[in-house]
Amino acid sequence: MNEFREGWKTLFAATIGTMCGIFTLTNYTQGFFVGPVTAEFGWTPPQFLLSYTVMMCFVLVTGPAVGSIVERIGLRKVGLIGLIGHSVAYVLLSLNTGSLLLWYSSWALLAILGAGSLPIVWTGVLNAWFSKHRGKAIGITMAGTGLGAFFLPPITEFFISNYGWRAAYRVIGIGALVISLPVVILMFKEKALSSVSSGVEQVKTQVEAWGLTRSEAIRTSRFWVLGAVLFLTVIILVGFLSNFERIMTEKGLERSSIATIASIMGLTIVIGRLLVGTLVDRFWAPGVAALFFLMPIAALLLLINIDVTFGMGVLIAILIGLAAGAELDLLAFLTSKYFGTAHYASIFGVILAFFTFGGGIGPPIFGAMAQAYDGYSVILSISVALLAISIGLFLALGSYPDEEH
């Protein structure tokens, strides 16, 4: 375990950066803002949730841009700028007075200012520190989203209920910065892939540094299969998570109970991240992915066909949480395994475009379908079919390249 002994500080900093980054704060808090914000301004839920689409469309540009900028100025600088920008943008969200144009503009600004807090940075630093245990390291880092999913729902609900939604946005944005900035400044260290000496270690470094260029990766069929499967799964998971409070309210649960269930799901996401990270180091990652994505199929079928009690809500949250915990880990791990680490940041930035586009359209699709069909049953049924297709796409990725065996 020498890799963990040498790289634990950077691993810890990357985990905190992930917990306080743009994806975590957005995915696990916005469902609680829908009701209060729309009630004050007279907006519809689909109008509110369109903000996801705006943000993610801008991330389609900022994600690849971050991947390129990282190769010029380094991961640490980009990460620090992203954390500060992300905090500022969250405070700006609280200043809206009812203008949809300003609302969408604020979310576009969030995507720009917070781009440096994307997983590109927090997973990118791991490639030089971890080889044998890379899957575990990615799992631990991405468990930061699960920690956020555990802490954020009750915190968000508390501040919205007691101080209003504006105060909640400010607390989330400033709090994330206060927690993450000192840790990243003190502990986040980059390590060059070529920084070891000679002999066996040098050979190992040459293997670690293998990788396609971004243009070469885009020309492969695996790139598009991976992109397609990420696009489909993120539509479902982000769409479900962003509408979680409304889905469970439709099933008759109270907001306080829903916040508790959401926190339990957050712990499950942590478990999912750590578990998938351990498994992909030992087993073929697409097979692990197929297993994990059978779980949300079971959860959605339960949600569609039975009455949801608190206990059943917890079970559904656990099944969804395990898959949500697996997704970003798999995104990072599969990118490094199929395309190498030499140009990881730039390739991951483009792969992330599929993830962000799906995440952008998922929430408003769920919201619009619920409005059109007077409930979530139709979109949940469609989600079951899309998850089944996704499992087939994971398995279609095939074996790892020879360089990764």
Model confidence at 146, in pLDDT bands (50, 70, 90)? Answer: confident
Residue 393 lies in a domain: yes
**84-104 per-position pLDDT tens digit:** 999 999 999 999 999 999 999
Question: 102: domain CATH number?
Answer: 1.20.1250.20
User: What is the distance between the alpha carbons of residues 193 and 399, in angstroms, rounded to a whole number?
Assistant: 25
Tell me the residue type at 298. A
Residue 8 lies in a domain: yes
**326-383 per-position pLDDT tens digit:** 777 787 788 888 888 777 777 877 887 787 788 778 888 888 898 889 889 899 999 9
Model confidence at 387, in pLDDT bands (50, 70, 90)? Answer: very high
Structural domain harbouring 363: 2-192+204-400
Residue 385 lies in a domain: yes
Model confidence at 258, in pLDDT bands (50, 70, 90)? Answer: confident
Model confidence at 389, in pLDDT bands (50, 70, 90)? Answer: very high
CB 111 within 8 A of CB 56: yes
3-class state of residue 54 by DSSP = helix
Model confidence at 83, in pLDDT bands (50, 70, 90)? Answer: very high
Residue 265 lies in a domain: yes
Residue 363 lies in a domain: yes
**271-310 per-position pLDDT tens digit:** 887 888 788 888 898 999 999 999 999 999 999 888 888 9
Model confidence at 209, in pLDDT bands (50, 70, 90)? Answer: low
User: What is the distance between the alpha carbons of residues 50 and 104, in angstroms, rounded to a whole number?
Assistant: 8
How many folded domains does the chain comprise? 1
Model confidence at 192, in pLDDT bands (50, 70, 90)? Answer: low
Residue 405 lies in a domain: no
Task: Tally Cβ neighbours within 10 Å of residue 195.
Answer: 9
Evaluate if residue 176 carries a pLDDT over 70. yes
Evaluate if residue 321 carries a pLDDT over 60. yes
User: What is the distance between the alpha carbons of residues 224 and 231, in angstroms, rounded to a whole number?
Assistant: 10
Residue 199 lies in a domain: no
Cβ neighbors of 86 (< 8 A, separation 6 or more) are: 20, 21, 22, 25, 110, 113, 114, 116, 117, 173, 176, 177
Letter string b/e over residues 273-306, b meaning 16 or more CB atoms within 10 A of that residue's CB: bbbbbbbbbeebbbebbbbbbebbbebbeebeee
User: Once rounded to an integer, what is the mean pLDDT over residues 108-128?
Assistant: 86
Residue 197 lies in a domain: no
What's the pLDDT score for residue 142? 79
3-class state of residue 113 by DSSP = helix
Q: What is residue 403's DSSP assignment?
A: G
